[in-house]
Structure 1
Amino acid sequence: MRLEPITWERLTDALADHLASAGAADGGPWLRVAVDGAPAAGTGERAERLGAALRARGRAALVVGAHGFLRPASLRLEYGKRDVEAYYGGWLDTGALWREVFTPLEPGGTGRVLPDLWDPVTDRATRSGYVELPPGGVLVLHGPLLLGHWFPFDLSVHLRLSPAALARRTDERERWTLPAFARYEDEVGPADAADVVVRADDPGRPAWTGLPGR
C-alpha cells in the first residue's frame, strides 16, 4: 500500500471536493460515506470536519455516530461488560441502521433519517426526531467496525492505526476491545475494503492512499 503524507485539512478538503461533485452508485439522490476506525483514531472529529467542509461547498450533510445505534445493555452486555465476541458482532444494531438510516436514502426513499436511536450511557431511547436530508445531501456515518456489513457506502474512509499505536492510544479501560480489532483486521481487512485509507499512527502527521481512481 502506497501512502503519501498529507495534512488533515488538505485531506478533508480533498474528500469534500470529491464528494461535492460525485453521484451515488445506485443512482439515488443521496451519498453515503463511512469514516471507519477504532475510537482511538478519532473518527467523530474527522467526520464532523468533513460534514462542515461539505456544507461550505453547498452540499447538505448529516453526520451520524454509530454509537447512537448500539443495542440496549440487556442485549449488548448479556455475556458481560468485556465480552470481545459480543463487542465485535453484537453491539451495533445493524438492523436499526438499515431501517432508520440507509433505507430512507435508497432511490425512491423519503430522505428522513433518524440521527440516533439509543443512548448507551443512560440505556434509554434518545427520542430524537427525524432529520430530512434533502436530495443531493450526504450522510457521513462514523464509528468502529463499520465495514463488512454490506452497508451501501458510496465512499468509505478507514482511519488505520497499527496494533502498537492502537494499543498505545486506547484508554486502559477499553483495551479489552483490542482483540476485536485484531479480528477485524483478519476477517474484514478494512485497509483493503475501504476506498481511502489514512494512516493515523501519528495524529499530527497522517498519510493516505489518495482518492479511488487517482
Structure 2
Amino acid sequence: MKESARLEDETSGKLILAGIDLFGEHGFKGTTTRMIAESANSNIGSIAYYFGNKRGLYLATARHIAKRLRQTFELDTSGDTHEHLKTLGREQARETLEQLVRRMVRLFVQEEEARRWLMLIMREQANPSEAFDILYKEAFEIAHVTITTLVAILMERDPADNRVILETHTLVGQIVFFLVGRTPLLRRLDSGDSFPPEIANMAEEVVVSHLAGLERR
C-alpha cells in the first residue's frame, strides 16, 4: 500500500495530506483550520487533538515529507553511513550514486506524491521557517551530504571542497527540475499530463550519463 493510501485510512494522516495540499496552495497564513478539517472530512477539534494547533500540523507536514524523502531515497540517518561511504572505491561509489540518482529521478518524474509536496517546499525555500529547518535537517542535508560524499570520490577531492558541493548541487538541481519544470517540459514533449514510460526511462538515462563527467573534473 502506498503511503498516501495508508494515510487516507487514518484521521491524522488525512489531516497531513490536506495540510500539504492547502499549505502549499495558500501558505500557512492563508490556510484556516476549517479549510483543513473540511478537506480531510474531519472536525476542527481533531487538529488540536492530534497536533495541538495549526502550526503543529504544519510542522507535522514537513516531518512527513522529510520522512518520505528519506524512505524513498533509502537514506540512512546514522552518522556511520557517511564514514562508510568514504571507504568506497570509485566504481562502488559510482554504482551507489547511480542507484540513488535513479530513485530520485523516478520520484520527481513519476510520483504524484512528489507533486503534492512541491508548492509547500517552494514556499519554504523562498521564506524559510521552522518547517524549512525540519526539511533541511531531516532530509535535504542528509541527501546532500550523502551525494557529496559519493561525488567527492568520483572527483578525487575532499567532500568539503566547495567545487564538490557545487557539483552536487548542480546534479541535484538537474533532477529536481524534472518536477519544478514539469509543465513546460511536458508541453515541449507534447506528452499531455504525464511522462510516458519511455520518456521517464530516457530522463533517468540522461541524468545518469552526466555522472561520467564528474570523473573527468
Using structure 1 for the length normalisation, give the TM-score: 0.26
Larger RCO: Structure 1 or Structure 2 (Cα < 8 Å, ≥ 6 residues apart)? 1
1 or 2, which has the higher strand percentage? Answer: 1
1 or 2, which has the higher helix percentage? Answer: 2
Using structure 2 for the length normalisation, give the TM-score: 0.26
